[in-house]
Amino acid sequence: MKKTIITVVGKDTVGIIARVCTYLADNQVNILDISQTIVQGYFNMMMIVDTGLVQSFGRLSEELLELGKEIGVVIKCQHEEIFESMHRI
């Protein structure tokens, strides 16, 4: 298990979750948790996923960024530890 946080931020449109989730399913990434909200037309989603089966984290990260550009949102992909270390003692 390798927990990774994926954040998706941008203007709301049809099918954001569907496209991100399809990509993840195709790439052996299991989704553990999703939380999502829309503030003034802006879509803000955080996913906790397991990237333990992913061969190249770099490729995953780049492809998600590309997918984000297609949809018109910013998708970031970061290992969980950076948030754990900053916000938990």
Which parts of this chain interact with other proteins (CB under 8 A)? Answer: 5, 7, 33, 35, 37, 44, 46, 48, 57-58, 61, 76-87
**What is the CB neighbour count within 10 angstroms for residue 17?**
14
How far CA 85 is from CA of 29, 65, 80, 89, in Å, comes to: 23, 24, 9, 7
CB of 71 to other proteins, least distance (A): 18
In single-letter form, the type of residue at position 73 comes to V
CB of 33 to other proteins, least distance (A): 7
CA dihedral (48, 17, 35, 41) positive or negative: positive
Report the residue number, 28 or 78, with the smaller CB distance to other proteins: 78
CB of 36 to other proteins, least distance (A): 9
